[in-house]
Amino acid sequence: MNKIIEKYDNVDYRVLSIESCKDEYDKFTKELQDRRKCGLNNEYEVFGDNIDSISIKCGFQAMTAIVLFIPYMTEEKIKFSKKSNLSSHACSIDYHLIAKNLMSNIVMDLKNEYPENNYYIQCDNGPYNERFFAIKSGLGKKSTNSTIINDVYGSYGFIGLIITDAMIKEYKTQEKHCNHCGECIKKCPSKAISSEGIDFNRCISYLTQKKKLSETEEQLLKSQNKIFGCDVCQEVCHENKNKKYSNIEDFKRDLLYNIELEDIEYLSNREFKRKFSDRNFSWKGKNIIARNISIGRGK
């Protein structure tokens, strides 16, 4: 099994037995549900189903999670990050497509070795909380700003899950935490981060996606001039210094750093979605992206 994934040398990975973390996962998701009942969640959070109910939806009993760290930062992107109005996770073609492609290839290889088994892949969209598995498997450190920090690539990576009913030997490393230096707390433009963690309802990344903004939220967006996503807490993080760049070709090609109003104002929403169909921000639609550009320009 390890040989199969090691073939993909541009990613890091761990293998986790679902049984070994099921109770903790179910406890964690119960807490998510309770927060939701109190209205403390936001609309994009994963729902908080427990392992068994996810298994029922997927149609097989989850036994093993192969947890992948898929790095996306490149030398070129980091140079442009300050001048770009898209965050670095949105400059390449849509990471959902890149991750799905990569994981489908791994699953094809796994099927050759374990043909009888079932596989489910997830990157971002789906019922599982991905950071939980990344932390529990030791794939990355849990950090004050919430991002998962991988030892090799830092925090600039997507998490992918391959869930299967195959029993695969665990490969995990020690659970770790960042050193709480407090730099992300100090530098977060919206003061969303504290030693307790992050209040996502204040996070700039969330505000770039939120439908209706208050006057104060608009001011916050204006100060950053980002139209989709935010990278400040990762940019200031010491753990991201001297880390390896991504070698995945798909993250290096067709880079897009800025969208201006002139590029989109004459497009209908449908045309906007078609024009940017291979970008992860297209699902937000033209109006929200145009609104964010206008806010950045001071209207």
Give the residues lining the site for ligand B12 (CB under 6 A). 24, 28, 32, 42, 44-46, 87, 89, 123-124, 126, 129-132, 135-136, 142, 145-148, 155, 157-159, 197-198, 200, 203, 205-206, 209, 229-231, 233
Report the residue number, 158 or 245, with the smaller CB distance to ligand B12: 158
- Which one, 256 or 267, has the nearer CB to ligand B12? 256
Q: How many C-beta atoms lie closer than 10 Å to residue 112's C-beta?
A: 8
Secondary structure of residue 103 in the 3-state scheme = helix
Of the pair 119, 158, the CB lying nearest ligand B12 is at 158
**Placement of tokens 């994963």 in the chain:** 46
H-type helices in the chain, by residue range? 2-6, 18-37, 51-58, 75-80, 95-113, 130-137, 183-187, 204-207, 215-224, 232-235, 261-264, 269-275, 286-296
Spatial contact of 160 and 68, defined as CB atoms under 8 Å apart = yes
CA 57 to chain centre: 23
Question: What's the closest the beta carbon of residue 230 comes to ligand B12, in angstroms?
Answer: 5
Task: Determine the residue with CB nearest ligand B12.
Answer: 229
Q: Report, in Å, the least distance between residue 218 CB and ligand B12.
A: 17
Residue type, 168: I
Residue 2 C-beta: closest distance to ligand B12, Å:
22
Work out how close the CB of 121 gets to ligand B12 at its nearest, in angstroms, rounded to a whole number: 11
**Closest CA relative to residue 157, chosen from 237, 71, 235:** 71
CB of 136 to ligand B12, least distance (A): 5
Nearer to ligand B12 among residue 45 and residue 265 (C-beta): 45
Residue 268 C-beta: closest distance to ligand B12, Å: 26
The residues with which 15 forms a beta bridge, in sequence order, are 66, 171
Nearer to ligand B12, 34 or 260 (CB): 34
Alpha-carbon gap, residue 243 to 150, rounded angstroms: 9
User: Of 255 and 267, which has the nearer Cβ to ligand B12?
Assistant: 255
Report d(CA 196, CA 219) in Å as an integer: 25
CA distances, 59 to each of 119, 163, 288 (Å) = 10, 12, 36
Name the 3-class secondary structure at 80.
helix
Q: How far is the CB of 270 from ligand B12 (least distance, A)?
A: 24
For ligand B12, give the closer residue by CB, 114 or 289.
Answer: 289
